[in-house]
Structure 1
Amino acid sequence: MGELLALLSALCFGVTHFVNGVVSRRHDGLTVALHAQLGGTALGLSLALFMGGGSATLADYGWGALSGVGTGVGVAFLYRAMSTGAMSVVVPVSDVGAVALPVLVGVCVLGERPALPAWVGIAAVLPALWLVSQSSPEPGDERQGAVSAGVPSALVASLGFGVQFLAMAQVGTDSGLWPVVLSRVVSVAVIAAVLGSYGAGWELTGRPWAATVAAGALGTLAIVLYLEATRQQLMAVATVLSALYPAIPVVLALVLLRERLNRRQAAGLVFAALAIGFIALR
């Protein structure tokens, strides 16, 4: 059951990022991120009130708040990246580091010892990031291997999502959903701070607003499913399965948005898939 919950989490994450990525094409990505998290906060609060129960400790709330910081950074910079770069490139970039970071923390801080396949996967992360970030030079442009638009922001998002997964997995099994609610509230505060620092607009109305809020609520459902998956499965397995979400927006971007990859980027996506797969075998 834990594996199924993690895969459902990945599906929800994928749809969330695709919808908000499309909205970010016409509206500032930071503004989209803010309204998405507001929608997610509303759903989280509703679920917590409806389900009740739980006995969260101060530590649980601390982990929830830290997860919210990661979520805020991850969502803000991912949607900023998708407003300038190809979705089929920036989403995988934001994911590979999110998978590798929990593994590295497990090894260096928690004393975990991955098996050989996991080390192979970790080694594949760097070439995957380098290849998938390479843009095709324009006709007459002598530059080779220019970094694709949005990749720097996607790398920042990658660290944020890594913190999100790591911290949320530490929340106790009897804590209920209030740490998730705190996580959403903190993420809104972080995004608002980033948005203010960049001087982006605050307003989003009409159908884009409705789509963004609905997608943000789906993102909260994704983190709730992930949290439950970590309670029924090893954190490493739940994290890697939930981190398969880029397959959804990448496929949808290639099919519906008619995005195209160059050979280096296609090879990078293969390396990314191999990295995630090998890490899952740790």
Structure 2
Amino acid sequence: MGELLALLSALCFGITHFVNGLVSRRHNGLTVALHAQLGGTVLGLLLALVLDSGTASLADYGWGALSGVGTGVGVAFLYRAMSQGAMSVVVPVSDVGAVALPVLVGVCFLGERPALPAWVGIAAVLPALWLVSQNSADLGDKQRQAISAGVPSALVASVGFGVQFLAMAQVGTDSGLWPVVLSRVVSVLVIAAVLASYGARWRLTGKPWAATVAAGALGTLAIVLYLEATRQQLMAIATVLSALYPAIPVLLALVLLKERLNRRQAVGLVCAALAIGLIALH
């Protein structure tokens, strides 16, 4: 069950980033990130009021707040990266730290020991993400520079997402959803600070606002699913499966934007599917 929850989390994360990536093409990515997290905060609050039955400790709130810092940094710089470069490149790049940091901490400091098939699956994830991000070799130098323009911001986002996954996995099993609510609130404050430092516009209206808020709510659902997955599964396994979300924007771009899949991307998606199967065999 933990594997399924983590995969559903990846699906929600992928849809969230695809929708907000589209909006970020026409509007400032930091502004999009702010409104997305506001939408996510509202859903988190509603879920906590309706479903919450746990009791969180001070440590749980601390981990939730730290996760919110990671979320704020990750989302702000990912959407900034998507407004600068190609979605199919910056989203997988933003995922490297999200995969590596929690797995390394889980194995080195928390004593987690995935089985051999799961190790092979984990090892297949990074090549899969790299292959999924590859564009056609016949692009000119200027096109390649434009595509990779958002990579520095995506690397910053990568560290943020790693902190998000790692910290949220430390929240206690009986803590309920209020640490998630706190993480959303903290993420809004972090994004607002980044937004102010860049002097970007604060307002977003109309259909782009509605799409962004809805996608942000879906992002909160993703983190709730991930939290539940870590309670039923090793953090290293749950994180790797949840972090497969870059495959979703690529697939949605194929179906909805009529983009073409090159051979490397096809191999990358096959590697991702094999990784899921191997991890599920743990």
1:12 paired residue number = 12
Alignment of 1:48-63 (within 5 A): 48-63=48-63
Separation (CA, whole Å) in 2 of partners of 1:278 and 1:153: 32
Deviation at 1:173, TM superposition (A): 1.2
Q: Which residue type is aligned with residue 226 of structure 1? A: Y
Query: Once superposed, which parts of structure 1, at least 4 consecutive aligned residues long, lie more than 3 Å away?
Result: 111-147, 258-282
**AA matched with 1:6:** A
Contact 2:103–2:239 (CA<8 Å) still a contact in 1?
no
- The SS at the match of 1:27 is coil
Residue 74 of structure 2 aligns to a residue whose secondary structure is helix
In 1: Cα distance, 2:125 partner to 2:54 partner = 38
* Structure-2-length-normalised TM-score: 0.85
Q: Secondary structure at the match of 1:13?
A: helix
Sort the Cα spacing of 1:47 and 1:254 in 2 relative to 1 into closer, same or farther, 3 A.
same
Match of 1:109 in 2: 109
Which amino acid in the other structure matches residue 208 of structure 1? Answer: P
Gaps of 5+ in 1: none
Cα separation, 2, equivalents of 1:28 and 1:277: 38
2:220 maps to which residue?
Answer: 220
Q: Which range moved further: 87-96 or 139-148? A: 139-148
Distance apart, 1:212 and its partner CA: 0.5
Q: How many Å separate the matches in 2 of 1:247 and 1:156? A: 20
Q: For the structure 1 residues 116 and 81, does the alpha-carbon distance in structure 2 shift closer, same or farther, using more than 3 Å as the test?
A: same
User: 1:182 is matched with which residue?
Assistant: 182
Deviation at 1:2, TM superposition (A): 2.5
Tell me which amino acid in the other structure corresponds to 2:154: A
Judged with a 3 Å threshold, the aligned counterparts in structure 2 of structure 1 residues 117 and 209 are, in CA distance, closer, same or farther, namely same
Partner AA of 1:255 in structure 2: V
The CA RMSD measured in Å over matched residues stands at 3.0
Aligned to 2:78: 78
Q: Is the 8 A contact 1:93 1:132 kept in 2?
A: no
Superposed CA deviations along residues 152-207 of structure 1, whole A, max 9, x for unmatched, are 22222122111111111111111111100000001011111111222211110111
| Alignment partners' CA distance in 2, 1:144 and 1:15 | 25
Query: Following the alignment from structure 2 to structure 1, what is the Cα–Cα distance between the partners of residues 43 and 142?
Result: 50
Alpha-carbon distance in structure 2 between the residues aligned to 1:186 and 1:103:
24
Measured at CA, do residues 270 and 249 of structure 1 come closer, stay the same or move farther in structure 2, by a change above 3 Å?
A: same
Task: For residues 202-228 of structure 1, give each alpha carbon's deviation from its aligned partner in whole angstroms, at most 9, with x where no partner exists.
Answer: 110111001101111111111112112
Q: Cα 1:176–1:130, aligned 2, differ >3 Å: closer, same or farther? A: closer
Q: How does 1:198-277 map to 2 (within 5 A)?
A: 198-260=198-260
Structure 2 counterpart of 1:69:
69
Name which of structure 1's ranges 55-64 and 11-20 shifts more when overlaid on structure 2.
11-20
Checking the alignment, whether the CA contact within 8 Å between 2:24 and 2:32 is kept in structure 1 is: yes
Q: Judging changes above 3 Å, is the alpha-carbon distance between structure 1 residues 150 and 279 closer, same or farther for their aligned structure 2 residues?
A: farther
Q: Per-residue displacement from partner, 1:235-272 (whole Å, max 9, x unpaired)?
A: 23322222222222111113322445666666666666
Q: Percent identity?
A: 88
Aligned residue pairs, count: 282
Cα distance change, pair 230–111 in 1 and its aligned pair in 2 (3 A): closer
Q: Secondary structure at the match of 2:209?
A: helix
- For 1:127 and 1:12, locate their aligned partners in 2 and report how far apart those are by CA, in whole Å: 22
User: Which residue of the partner structure matches residue 41 of structure 2?
Assistant: 41
Which residue number in structure 2 is paired with residue 155 of structure 1? 155
Structure-2 change in CA distance of 1:233 and 1:126 (3 Å): closer
Q: Hey, what's the Cα distance between the residues in 2 that align with 1:223 and 1:8?
A: 10
